[in-house]
Amino acid sequence: MRAVVHDRYGPPDVLRLERVERPVPKDDEVLVRVRATTVNRTDAGLRSAEVFISRFVTGLRRPKNRILGMELAGEVAGVGPAVSEFAVGDAVFDGASLALVCLEKGAPLDGRSVLIFGSSGSVGTSAVQLAKHFGAHVTAVCRTKNVELARSLGADEVIDYTRDDFTKNGKAYDVIFDSVGKHSFRRSRRSLKPGGIFIETDLGFMWHVPFLLLATRWVGSKKLKMGIARYQKADLLFLKQLIEAGEYRAVIDRTYPLEDVIEATRYVESEQKTGNVVLSVAD
């Protein structure tokens, strides 16, 4: 089968398309034929390893896992003998759960004011829709070209960050969610209500974050919390229900064939994308 691999850390050019051995599912595993996947900032960060601490997980000198990939849509191509919930041919998907995990850090959201910084990204577009589902009053922060998109996703208010700085508008929020790892608790602190929560994603992990996590736990009423990606069946079933009820839609910016993975990755790293960038995987 074909796969995008990388044997060293570096820029998008280290990626290449290669024929690899088709995996065999273990007793409790399923084999999925991937029809589409995404190029995202998490994959880009793992590939570049610019944040050196990530190498303690992915490999100090070279990547332990040559094949990247965090999200997928496809169908089951094989099942292990202990698998009872899936059969060959079943349509399956995985992804969009990071926003859900992060918003849980500010729960309950019903009736609360939630500001989502980076609301037009892949995590941000998910967060706007999920926060509205949970009953929050949502303020989306994005660039000019995405203002109408944010409104269409359900945002009650939209701030164009190229024109206005939400930290200087005199308003305060119960929850501020930095969905792109570009803001900080220190910059946003005055925009939090007493008892307010600033939520950071693992995308924005920096050396000082653990110290602030501990400090705000014990000092002051305003808290910094971090959402770290998890992979649970319950999350996907919840998202599946929202999709089927018409309460959630994936926002797709561009679709590239698998062969153009380097171009797709460069586009993602230009920080100009809206929602998701998809790689289409043909037979």
Residues in the chain: 283
Structural domains of the chain sorted by starting position, each given as residue range(s) with its CATH number in brackets: 2-95+250-280 (3.90.180.10), 98-227 (3.40.50.720)
Cα–Cα distance between 193 and 197 in angstroms, integer? 8
The two three-digit tokens of residue 256, written as one number: 């590239």
- In order, the DSSP letters of 32-82 are EEEEEEEE-HHHHHHHH--SGGGHHHH-SSS-S--B--S-EEEEEEEE-TT
* Dihedral sign, Cα of residue 95, residue 85, residue 232, residue 44: negative
> What CA–CA distance (Å, rounded) separates 27 from 185?
45
* Residues paired with 277 in a beta bridge: 39, 254
**Residue 52: its pLDDT value, please?**
75
**Cα–Cα distance, 121 to 54 (Å, whole number):** 22
pLDDT along the chain (283 residues), means of 10: 95 96 95 96 89 83 92 96 96 91 95 97 96 98 97 98 95 96 87 95 60 64 83 92 95 97 96 95 79
Q: What angle do CA 91, 93, 94 make, to 5 degrees?
A: 160
Q: Residue 47 has what pLDDT? A: 94
Confidence (pLDDT) at 57: 83
